[in-house]
């Protein structure tokens, strides 16, 4: 029997409380040792057995196997560097770093230290994405010629989380929500040959980009990724057109809302969407036209933590690699370049599938 993986969080705000601690606590292969809490000391109210660390140094000096870097984006590089130098494995929140240069430096350091960095791309375990992936992979749409993925919000006012609105490196909707959409597009379609980006500010007084449209160019396919903060009436989160048919799916994964409500990932029917949110498939199979709602996959972020456990304990492949997430940062960098120049930018430097 392997000893549980001793895990600590570098913050216990929404990300620590909602997306990490409940899974670390529920998975028998991990133990939640504690979190670095700067001002509010809350972890022991929910997990009485956990420690509250006052400093990063105190946390890194403790007997910890895995550090979850879930702090503001501009701190990711430095905190991950310190954790690796202290001999810890790291889960690194998306977007992993602000630049590809930082990502490559961390990859080299992890190799030197014989430690792993596993980016946290939890939305790969969303019910809506998994259902879209299943439909694409099944071939019922034929050859994909066009797709549009959206991650919208209706949030006309600036966030109360000051670190998200300051205009520091790594802030803005392209880094925040865009890193999920780009990751999903790369997972489904591989790396594009070129891109065009329109990135702007729509909310009064905002210091960060809060709208983007990315057009990814593939040899025989175009993929649009969009996000805006003034979308009160949601459009489908996934629209896919192929030579044989179409698929539309709402963004309806229930996990984040359930976690915010305090539900545990061990709850029966965890990650099951309401039937009303089923995707619409309109295609032809064996010459017969089909237009019907299709069952939704179950979403479960525990899949990430289980795969990570298997990687750490049984040398299985990581659920997400640093190279995959570095490719996301490369797309973001090129998107800002395209927006600045007002033109299509080739991605020849990125290795193609």
Q: What is residue 352's predicted lDDT score, i.e. its pLDDT?
A: 41
Q: Report how far residue 302's alpha carbon sits from residue 321's, in angstroms, rounded to the nearest whole number.
A: 17
Instruction: List Cα–Cα distances, 248 to 196, 197, 217, 225, 237, in angstroms.
Output: 24, 24, 21, 15, 8
* Edge-to-edge strand list for the sheet holding 211-218: 288-294, 279-285, 246-249, 238-242, 144-150, 221-228, 211-218, 194-200, 345-346
Give SS3 for 191. Answer: coil
Cis (ω within 30 of 0) for the bond into 95?
yes
Q: What is residue 2's predicted lDDT score, i.e. its pLDDT?
A: 81
Lookup: tokens for 127: 């019910």
Q: Report whether 38 contacts 12 (CB < 8 A).
A: no
Q: Report how far residue 253's alpha carbon sits from residue 29's, in angstroms, rounded to the nearest whole number.
A: 25
Q: Set out the domains of the chain in order of their start, with CATH numbers.
A: 5-120 (3.40.50.720), 123-299+330-346 (3.30.360.10)
pTM here?
0.96
Q: Report how far residue 95's alpha carbon sits from residue 329's, in angstroms, rounded to the nearest whole number.
A: 7
Per-10-residue mean pLDDT, the chain, length 353: 91 96 98 96 97 98 98 97 98 97 98 98 98 98 98 91 83 96 98 98 94 97 98 96 98 96 94 97 95 98 98 97 98 98 85 42
Q: What is residue 348's predicted lDDT score, i.e. its pLDDT?
A: 73
């Amino acid at each position: 029997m392997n000893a549980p993986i001793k895990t600590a969080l570098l913050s216990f705000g929404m990300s620590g409380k909602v997306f990490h601690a409940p899974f670390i606590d529920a998975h028998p292969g991990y133990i939640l040792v504690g979190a670095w809490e700067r001002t509010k000391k809350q972890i022991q109210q929910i997990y009485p057995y956990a420690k509250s660390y006052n400093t990063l140094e105190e946390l890194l000096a403790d007997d910890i196997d895995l550090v979850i870097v879930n702090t503001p984006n501009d701190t990711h590089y430095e905190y991950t560097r310190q954790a690796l130098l202290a001999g810890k494995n790291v889960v690194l929140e998306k977007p992993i770093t602000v630049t590809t240069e930082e990502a490559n430096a961390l990859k080299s350091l992890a190799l030197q230290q014989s430690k792993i960095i596993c980016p946290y791309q939890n939305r790969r375990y969303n019910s809506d994405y998994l259902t879209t992936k299943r439909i694409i992979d099944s071939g019922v749409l034929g050859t994909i010629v066009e797709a549009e993925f959206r991650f919208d919000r209706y949030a006309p006012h600036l966030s109360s989380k000051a670190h998200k609105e300051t205009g520091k490196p790594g802030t803005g909707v392209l880094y925040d929500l865009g890193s999920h959409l780009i990751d999903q597009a790369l997972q489904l379609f591989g790396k594009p040959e070129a891109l065009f980006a329109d990135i702007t500010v729509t909310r009064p007084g905002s210091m960060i980009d809060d709208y983007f449209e990315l057009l990814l160019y593939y040899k025989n396919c175009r993929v649009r990724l969009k996000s805006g903060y003034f979308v009160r009436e949601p459009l489908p989160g996934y629209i896919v057109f192929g030579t044989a048919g179409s698929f539309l799916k709402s963004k309806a994964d229930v996990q984040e809302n359930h976690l915010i409500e305090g539900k545990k990932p061990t709850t029966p029917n965890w990650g099951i969407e309401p039937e009303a949110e089923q995707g619409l498939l309109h295609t032809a199979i064996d010459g017969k036209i089909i237009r019907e709602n299709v069952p939704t996959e179950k979403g479960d972020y525990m899949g990430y933590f289980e795969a990570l456990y298997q990687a750490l304990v049984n040398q299985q492949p990581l659920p997400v690699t640093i190279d995959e997430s570095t490719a996301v940062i490369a797309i973001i960098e090129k998107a800002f370049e395209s927006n600045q120049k007002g033109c299509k930018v080739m991605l020849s430097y990125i290795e193609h599938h």
